[in-house]
Amino acid sequence: MTRCHQARAAAAWSLALLTSAANPARADDKPVYEYLDEQTAATVTTAREDLVFARERPDLAVNARDYVSLVPIEVNRSGERRYYWFGYLWSTIDRRDNETQLTQGDQLVLLADARPIALQPAAGSMRELGIARAPLKRPGRAAVAILLQADADSVSFTGHASGLSLVLIHDGQNQDYSLWRDAREAVRKFVTYLGPDTTE
């Protein structure tokens, strides 16, 4: 091996080590991300990719969109296992008119092969439910974190659905979001890894 090749190999190895150190929960070959939340002692497992739904907003700006990101997670606290959807509401729009994406009384409905799955807010704060450390990176400073109730059946159905979309019901009006980033394969791997048993 030439000195040039040796230097390149060493640089690549150093970069791999730095990447592993920066992302300890994502450095293995598991089909999911899994970490111990040190503040709550809960084991949190998530799919490796999040579903992202988008709504075009040409009324406000060219190429403007609102987004909803969702990733299935399992929180295991001493064998008590719960499923949730964790995600963010975010946008490319600078809302200087104080418009908000989600207000009191709004509802999110996931449509999986036209089957409506109402996404209800989880009962309790994230920390109370075992999540002190967010399992998904915030896509922007203005992004709003959401934690929604889920179960094994609806998560599995979502991963195997041939069609996915999302509806935000705001002031009695439907706001339609289409699938912008497809992560159904990651959802299926998440379900397979955890198995069907969970505490509802």
One-character DSSP codes across 57-94: -TTTSTT-EEEEEEEEEEEEETTEEEEEEEEEEEESS-
Residue 7: inside a domain: no
Range of the domain at 56: 25-194
In a domain, 121, yes or no: yes
Sign, CA dihedral 56-61-63-65, equals negative
**Number of domain units in the chain:** 1
Q: Which two tokens stand for residue 128?
A: 């109370």
Answer yes or no: is 50 within a domain: yes
Read off the pLDDT of residues 40-62 as tens digits, 9 standing for 90 and up.
Answer: 999 999 999 999 999 998 777 77
Q: Structure pTM?
A: 0.79
Look at residue 45 and tell me if it is in a domain. Answer: yes
Asked whether residue 11 is domain-assigned, the answer is no
State phi, psi for 152 to the nearest 5 degrees.
-60, -40
- φ/ψ region of 130 (left if φ > 0, alpha if ψ in -120 to 50, else beta) reads left
**pLDDT, tens digit, 9 for 90 and up, residues 59-81:** 777 778 999 999 999 999 999 99
**Domain-embedded: residue 109:** yes
Provide the 3-class DSSP secondary structure of residue 137.
coil
Structure tokens at 75: 């929180």
